[in-house]
Amino acid sequence: MQRVKYSAYLDKIQSPEKAAILIKNHHILGVSGFTKAGDSKAVLPQVAKRALFEDLKVTVMSGASLGYNTDADLAKNGALYKRMPFQADPTLRKSINNHEVLYVDQHLGQTADMFQKIDKFKIDIAIIEAVSITEEGYIVPTTSIGNSPIFAENADKIIIEINTTFPESLEGIHDVKVLKKQPNREVIPVLESDTRIGDPFIKIDPAKVVAVVYTELPDSPAVIAAPDEKTKAISEHILKFLENEVEEGRLTESLLPLQAGIGKTANAILSGFTNSKFKNLTMYSEVLQDSTFELFDSGKLLFASASSMTVTEGCSKKVFSNFEAYKDKLLLRPQNISNAAEVINRLGVIGINTAIEVDIYGNVNSTHIAGTKMMNGIGGSGDFARNGYLSIFACPSMSKEGRISHVVPMVSHTDHSEHDVDILVTEQGLADLRGLAPIERARVVIENCAHPEYKAQLLEYFEDAYKLGGHTPHSLEKAFAWHMQLKTEGTMKVKDYACNEIEVKA
């Protein structure tokens, strides 16, 4: 009981099942959780269970994706009316794409500001995971902060999940500040990755707390494929590029704070820094993966700031069994501060994110397969790509045994326009697009990034379109022909179309 140091909460302690009864049909819930870290593991899953037996459809707002099968079960059991601002679950994805769940995909740095603008998202109940409760009744979060502070502020009621699997020594790694509404918005005075500007807990109104539950489920572990040939090649291209920037005096050996997206590619890229010439690195990111801890262990990384820690089972053991070794090098922030345009620009973050597909002019699709089907969401990629010092997007040049080219004539959906993309990189090579006009960009993207099996085909598209003129040459008839052919014939390799005359390349 000693994790709850505020005695007035003691008689609120109850089972997750009982606490979940407070959640009613049509409720709007704001839940903790960011890329599977620090999410509601006890109460929210009960909503999914109840939805099997009663009319229970809720709106769920989170930091980012949730762990285990929470999103899957909510979706499968019909418990979700609306979901925002991010998800990454295959079952929920299917429900979104079938129009069973409404999904509002948002820049992760911007959800917090929504509450002052839209009344209809007034939160009925916030569910927030805590490692402990302070003497004032405030929440010490676990492995993520996400949107929890703004949810708590805007909620009528709060349910707290005390998770005893995390060491209480997590207390101290959080830095929480709730920004004022405009026109009273203040400067966000983060001047370095490690600047502290707030409290090590989430200040809440204790009167809002209606239930406290206990759980000991750990975060669902990240599952990250080991670096392979392709992701290693991508990592090497980026390191070589950055080394050259240092040689030419535009950056120093400690670079600028790094941000890396989530997943295999981003993790492999960061791991690559372990054996690089760089030193005294820092991170100002939204998620920390295994590679962050590898970099700490190698002595390359001085400090990392993010909104969550999402690590594999092995890494989790390493970190939490020896937490004091990492504690003073880590800081977790609310996501509207980890992803604040103001701070990302001031610090000059180097943003490294992953694309579903890119086009020859440098536009990036991060979210929609074939322009229509939601994959995960834009996440924080836009916050970093728009505002950082350098915006890098990586993807394989080709996949599915060559049936899909990730470099296409025109992206089927635009998340990041050419204005927000400095560098494109695939295992084939890297294109530095800074200061180039679209027709210059096309040549370097095709030359450096496309897979040899698709180069001729891309060049032919570009040259045909070029003849038609235009700052950004396109032939609208053919712009999506490859995507269409993938659907009808299972490959983007061109042979013959109803609507165009591109010919097969041997």
Ligand X SMILES: CC(C)(COP(=O)(O)OP(=O)(O)OC[C@H]1O[C@@H](n2cnc3c(N)ncnc32)[C@H](O)[C@@H]1OP(=O)(O)O)[C@@H](O)C(=O)NCCC(=O)NCCS
Catalytic center residues: 286
Residues in region 397-416 near ligand X by CB under 6 A: 399-400, 404, 406
Q: How far is the CB of 106 from ligand X (least distance, A)?
A: 11
Residue 193 CB-density burial (10 A; 0-12 exposed, 13-18 middle, 19+ buried): buried
Which of a copy of itself, ligand X, none does residue 165 bind (CB under 5 to 8 Å by kind)?
A: none
The Cα–Cα gap between 441 and 418 comes to 9
Q: Binding ligand X by CB under 6 A: which of 235, 267, 363, 366? A: 366
Helix spans in 427-475 (H): 438-449, 452-468
| Chain residue at closest Cβ approach to ligand X | 379
Is 370 one of the binding residues for a copy of itself (CB under 8 A)? yes
Q: How far is the CB of 262 from ligand X (least distance, A)?
A: 4
What is the pattern of x (binds ligand X, CB under 6 A) and - over residues 268-307?
Answer: ------------------xx--------------------
Give the interface segment with ligand X, choosing from 190-198, 263-271, 312-320, 438-446 (CB under 6 A).
Answer: 263-271
The Cα–Cα gap between 375 and 5 comes to 42
Is 376 one of the binding residues for ligand X (CB under 6 A)? yes
What is the pattern of x (binds a copy of itself, CB under 8 A) and - over residues 386-425?
Answer: xx-xx-------------------x-xxxx-x-x--x---
Q: How far is the CB of 483 from ligand X (least distance, A)?
A: 6
The Cα–Cα gap between 266 and 325 comes to 24
Residues in region 479-498 near ligand X by CB under 6 A: 483, 486
**Length reported for the chain:** 506
Q: Are 429 and 382 in contact (CB under 8 A)?
A: no
**C-alpha distance from residue 69 to each of 48, 339, 365 (Å):** 10, 26, 27
Q: Which is nearer to ligand X, 381 or 428 (CB)?
A: 381
CB atoms within 10 A of CB 373: 14
What is the pattern of x (binds ligand X, CB under 6 A) and - over residues 203-242?
Answer: ----------------------------------------
To 10 degrees, the CA torsion angle through 217, 323, 38, 375?
-110
Sign of CA dihedral 351, 356, 360, 361: negative
Which of ligand X, a copy of itself, none does residue 354 bind (CB under 5 to 8 Å by kind)?
A: ligand X
The Cα–Cα gap between 309 and 143 comes to 6
Which of a copy of itself, ligand X, none does residue 277 bind (CB under 5 to 8 Å by kind)?
A: none
Residue type, 269: I
Q: How far is the CB of 288 from ligand X (least distance, A)?
A: 11
Residue 390 CB-density burial (10 A; 0-12 exposed, 13-18 middle, 19+ buried): buried
Q: How far is the CB of 243 from a copy of itself (least distance, A)?
A: 16
Is 491 one of the binding residues for a copy of itself (CB under 8 A)? no
Q: Are 246 and 253 in contact (CB under 8 A)?
A: yes
Q: Which is nearer to ligand X, 132 or 265 (CB)?
A: 265
Q: Which is nearer to ligand X, 143 or 366 (CB)?
A: 366
Is 437 one of the binding residues for a copy of itself (CB under 8 A)? yes
Residue type, 358: V
Q: Which is nearer to ligand X, 80 or 486 (CB)?
A: 486
Give the interface segment with ligand X, choosing from 76-84, 145-153, 207-215, 367-375 (CB under 6 A).
Answer: 367-375
Give the strand pairing for 58-61 and 80-84: parallel
Q: How far is the CB of 464 from a copy of itself (least distance, A)?
A: 12
State the first-to-last Cα distance of the chain, in angstroms, to the nearest integer.
Answer: 71
Q: Is 274 helix (H, G, I), strand (E, B) or coil?
A: helix
Structure tokens, 298: 């190698």
Is 374 one of the binding residues for ligand X (CB under 6 A)? no
Residues in region 439-468 near a copy of itself by CB under 8 A: 439-440, 465-466, 468
* DSSP one-letter string for 218-241: PPPPP--PPP-HHHHHHHHHHHHH
Q: How far is the CB of 493 from ligand X (least distance, A)?
A: 13
Q: Is 49 helix (H, G, I), strand (E, B) or coil?
A: helix
Q: Binding a copy of itself by CB under 8 A: which of 480, 493, 494, 502? A: 480
Q: Are 491 and 427 in contact (CB under 8 A)?
A: no
Residue type, 463: E
Q: How far is the CB of 67 from a copy of itself (least distance, A)?
A: 22
Q: Are 30 and 44 in contact (CB under 8 A)?
A: no
Residues in region 96-155 near a copy of itself by CB under 8 A: 96-99, 102-107, 110, 113-114, 116-121
Q: Are 335 and 311 in contact (CB under 8 A)?
A: no
The Cα–Cα gap between 166 and 316 comes to 10
Is 87 one of the binding residues for ligand X (CB under 6 A)? no
Which helix (DSSP H) or strand (DSSP E) does residue 344 occupy?
A: helix 341-347
Is 369 one of the binding residues for ligand X (CB under 6 A)? yes
Q: How far is the CB of 357 from ligand X (least distance, A)?
A: 5
Is 280 one of the binding residues for a copy of itself (CB under 8 A)? no
Contacts with a copy of itself by CB under 8 A: the residue count is: 85
Q: Which residues are near ligand X by CB under 6 A?
A: 261-265, 286-287, 353-357, 366, 369-370, 375-376, 378-381, 399-400, 404, 406, 483, 486
